[in-house]
């Protein structure tokens, strides 16, 4: 596969959730500049119509391309679920686009093929993602048999966006969802929303308290590897001991369609570094 020109990678989400993916991409491809767009004026996407999300996604892709992006990462499960076809049809064919669903499905299928215990897969996400039925359809199409247990968990995003990812209210809400009959008996869980990696510790604690072994898919890393494979297939992954020498890149840029100081504070938490938000014009 031919490498993509060494320009900035554009990523977008409805808000700050996609920064969990941006952070993993920045670690995997540390020499690349990132252009991130959080569509905070239209957050949340999870309860919007597919038509609305398609039109927001196309406008954002155009914005990122106009700012020099050489590839687009749809760092939002909801947009990946309902706007993918529209985006792929709209964006010029030579621009690689990566969504956050296909790499995760491929990772689950690969785990399934390498294990003797069949996976009993659960997925949590927004109403839009779960309602689209995309995860069960894609996982079964990838050759993993059985029912995929899918549950919409719409209260999690507003709580996380409120900066309460590590609060009692989050824990109570998460426990309420994870205890639902739909998710009983699962041994693999897909966090099917880019906000949810922030809940990794709480999710692990929930299953540990119940002595239930669970494989929690590290979706941001899986997606970051897919981005690296699509853009720079020959570049080895940086290791903790031997980081590849860093070529300086232009500072990452973080655009939002609506600015509030709260978004900026939460964005730092998601990205794990200083983030200065720019209001998109």
Q: Is 193 in the site for ligand DGL (CB under 6 A)?
A: yes
Select the residue interacting with ligand DGL from 8, 10, 38, 44 (CB under 6 A). Answer: 44
- Does residue 174 have a cis peptide bond before it, meaning omega lies within 30 degrees of 0? no
Percentages (nearest 5) of helix, strand, coil residues in the chain: 45, 15, 40
Nearer CB in complex with ligand DGL: 4/78 = 78
Q: How are beta strands 149-152 and 121-125 bridged, if at all?
A: parallel
- Shortest spacing between CB 210 and ligand DGL, in angstroms: 26
Tokens of 38: 């959080």
User: Which residue of the chain is nearest ligand DGL when measured via CB?
Assistant: 46
Among 9, 10, 12, 14, binds ligand DGL (CB under 6 A): 14
For the bound state, the minimum distance from the C-beta of residue 24 to ligand DGL, rounded and expressed in Å, comes to 14
CB of 79 to ligand DGL, least distance (A): 7
The rounded distance, in Å, linking the Cα atoms of 44 and 271 is 19
Residues 72-101 that bind ligand DGL (CB under 6 A): 76-78
Residues in 221-260 that interact with ligand DGL by CB under 6 A: none
In contact, 177 and 122? CB cutoff 8 Å: no
Span of 43-51, 174-182, 199-207, 243-251 interacting with ligand DGL by CB under 6 A: 43-51
Q: Quick check: 23 binds ligand DGL (CB under 6 A)?
A: no
At 98, is the secondary structure helix, strand, or coil? strand
In whole angstroms, what is the distance from residue 75 CA to residue 99 CA? 7
Name which of residues 126 to 165 contact ligand DGL (CB under 6 A): 126, 129, 157
> Of 11, 13, 119, 255, which lies in the binding site for ligand DGL, with binding defined by CB under 6 A?
13
Nearer residue to ligand DGL within complex by CB, 102 or 232: 102
Catalytic residue from among 76, 108, 139, 267:
76
* 76 is known as an active-site residue: yes
Cα(120)–Cα(7) distance, rounded to whole angstroms? Answer: 40
Residue 70 vs 136, nearer CB to ligand DGL: 136
Closest listed residue to residue 39, CA positions, set 19, 21, 60 = 60
Distance CA 2, CA 232 (A): 8
CA distances from 140 to 76, 109, 149, 184, 251 (A): 21, 9, 12, 19, 41
193 flagged as catalytic: yes
Catalytic residue among 34, 124, 134, 193: 193
- Can you give the C-alpha Rg of the chain in angstroms? 18
Q: Which residues bind ligand DGL (CB under 6 A)?
A: 13-15, 17, 43-46, 76-78, 126, 129, 157, 193-195
The catalytic residues are 76, 193
């Amino acid at each position: 596969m031919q490498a993509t020109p060494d320009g900035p990678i554009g990523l977008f989400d409805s808000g700050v959730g996609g920064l969990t993916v941006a952070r993993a991409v920045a670690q995997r491809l540390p020499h690349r500049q990132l252009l991130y767009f959080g569509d905070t004026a239209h957050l949340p996407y999870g309860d919007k119509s597919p038509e609305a999300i398609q039109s927001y996604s196309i406008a954002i892709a155009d914005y990122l391309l106009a700012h020099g992006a050489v590839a687009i990462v749809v760092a939002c499960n909801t947009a990946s679920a309902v706007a993918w076809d529209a985006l792929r049809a709209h964006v010029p064919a030579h621009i690689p686009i990566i969504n956050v669903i296909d790499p995760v499905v491929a990772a689950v299928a690969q785990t399934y093929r390498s294990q003797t215990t069949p996976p009993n897969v659960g997925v949590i996400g927004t109403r839009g993602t779960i309602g689209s039925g995309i995860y069960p359809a894609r996982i079964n199409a990838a050759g993993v048999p059985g029912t995929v247990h899918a549950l919409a968990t719409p209260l999690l995003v507003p709580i996380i966006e409120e900066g309460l990812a590590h609060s009692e209210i989050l824990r109570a809400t998460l426990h309420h969802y994870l205890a639902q009959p739909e998710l009983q008996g699962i041994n693999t869980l897909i966090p099917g929303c880019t906000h949810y990696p922030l809940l990794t510790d709480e999710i692990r604690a929930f299953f540990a308290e119940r002595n239930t072994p669970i494989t929690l898919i590290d979706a941001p890393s899986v997606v970051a590897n897919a981005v690296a494979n699509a853009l720079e297939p020959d570049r080895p992954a940086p290791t903790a001991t031997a980081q590849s020498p860093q070529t300086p890149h232009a500072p990452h840029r973080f655009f939002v369609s609506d600015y509030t100081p709260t978004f900026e504070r939460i964005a730092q938490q998601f990205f794990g570094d200083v983030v200065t938000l720019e209001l998109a014009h």
